[in-house]
Amino acid sequence: MLTNYDRLLKGQVDEALTFIADRFEGYLAADPQLSFQMAAYVHGRLVLDVYGGPHMAADSLTVPYSTSKNTAGLVVGLLVQRGLLDLDAPVADWWPEFATGGKERVTGRQLFSHQAGLPETEPMLEWDELLDNRRAADRLAIMRPYWRPGSAFGYHAITIGNLADAAVQRTDGRTIHEFYEQELRRRIDTEFFLGLPDELDDRLVPLLPIVPPLGEAPAPTSYHPLRDVAFGPRPGKDVDLAGSEKSYRFGHPAGSATTTAHGVAKLLAGAVTGIGEADPILDAETVAVIGEQQVRGFDEVLGQHDRAHSIIFQKPSQQLAFGSARSFGHDGAMGALGCADPLTGVTFGYTIVRGPWPGGADPRAVRAAREIGMAGL
């Protein structure tokens, strides 16, 4: 039963989740600049749709950084469901140019679970290439991997999106943008865009940079060989992934989609649980395939322990405990989160204008997503 909430926090909330709304009301009271949206479905029924703070309206759109990857993960799932992509076949079966540099036997499963050693090209992709999937794919195809494929995994922060486009183009024929728009976004009727339409420009809210707490300096980052490879300064004309029109107009499937929190939750509901009486776009078998954990442990690129991935998506971990062992999703560097839990039926979205230090999913949102699953709705 949805009720209206109209204090600092505004929107609709199922009565059973009022405790979560109240907690976020408290966050808004304590921090006058906090501005976010949060939404959730349970088994396809909207149970939460709220927003608050001076920088967010109900329909504000933001760039959720890597939460964008939820689009690419669902797209790859749909390719699998339609029999266009066999995750256990060599990538070279559908991408002949890929069969070089020791990648001859790399499978789709390895490629889309961050095991192929292609977190970047060498030298780094320029901005113009990054925002042009064909050019990025051509450069990635000829790369020698940064580690023996299958022997390790490491976050392909950006390239996973270009690689997902290659899979769509070479198996379906459309671009990932066309495929996603026609097969997922429009069918589900959700405002989670790969490429912001011109006419929505005035709803776009720019992100604000994350700021360390007063007196806290950035932790001295210990050196890890691949971190610079993947996160060093990118060559080419200065582009900001979230802030530059060139980037969000393109809509990079790994990092510069545009969405509301509701848009994230609705996309995942339409694909994973179905909305209302409608069947989900992905069948249960496909949901199991894209949610099955492929790797867990030390991330070769981030230099962090206890990271885990299924197909493109993140799996929950101690630091990112958004749901049950069956759940999957993706957070964003600036605080956003999208996740789905087939066990509890929860699909969840969260966007924020200025995420908390030091970045990654806002822990307040992670906790909310987990608690909605435990509420037994």
Q: What's the CA angle centered on 307, arms 323 and 217, to 5 degrees?
A: 105
Q: How far is the CB of 357 from a copy of itself (least distance, A)?
A: 20
User: Rounded to an integer, what distance in angstroms lies between the CA atom of residue 14 and that of residue 47?
Assistant: 5
Q: How far is the CB of 370 from a copy of itself (least distance, A)?
A: 8
Nearest CB to a copy of itself, comparing residues 12 and 324: 324
Judge whether 372 and 42 are in contact, CB under 8 Å.
Answer: yes
What does the alpha-carbon distance between residue 2 and residue 114 come to, in Å, rounded to a whole number? Answer: 40
Give the nearest distance from C-beta 358 to a copy of itself in angstroms: 18
- The nearest distance, CB 371 to a copy of itself, in angstroms, is 12
The whole-angstrom separation of Cα 39 and Cα 265 is 6
Closer to a copy of itself by CB, 262 or 326: give it.
326
Closer Cβ to a copy of itself, 53 or 117, answer by number: 117
In the three-class reduction of DSSP (H, G, I as helix; E, B as strand; rest coil), residue 129 is classed as helix
When the beta carbons of 273 and 327 are compared against a copy of itself, the nearer one is: 327
Nearer to a copy of itself, 274 or 323 (CB): 323
- What separation, in Å, do the N-terminal and C-terminal C-alpha atoms of the chain show? 10
Strands 192-193 and 45-52: unpaired
**Could you give the CA distance from residue 83 to residue 333 in angstroms, rounded to a whole number?**
33
Residues 366/358, Cβ–Cβ less than 8 Å: no
Residues that bind a copy of itself (CB under 8 A): 101-102, 122, 144-148, 151-152, 222-226, 228-229, 288, 292-298, 300, 303, 305-306, 315-318, 321, 323-327, 343, 370
253 Cα distance to chain centroid: 8
Q: Residue 289 CB, nearest distance to a copy of itself (Å)? A: 8
| Closest distance to a copy of itself from the beta carbon of 228 (Å) | 8
35 vs 327, which CB is nearer to a copy of itself? 327
Q: Looking up tokens 């962090």, which residue turns up?
A: 304
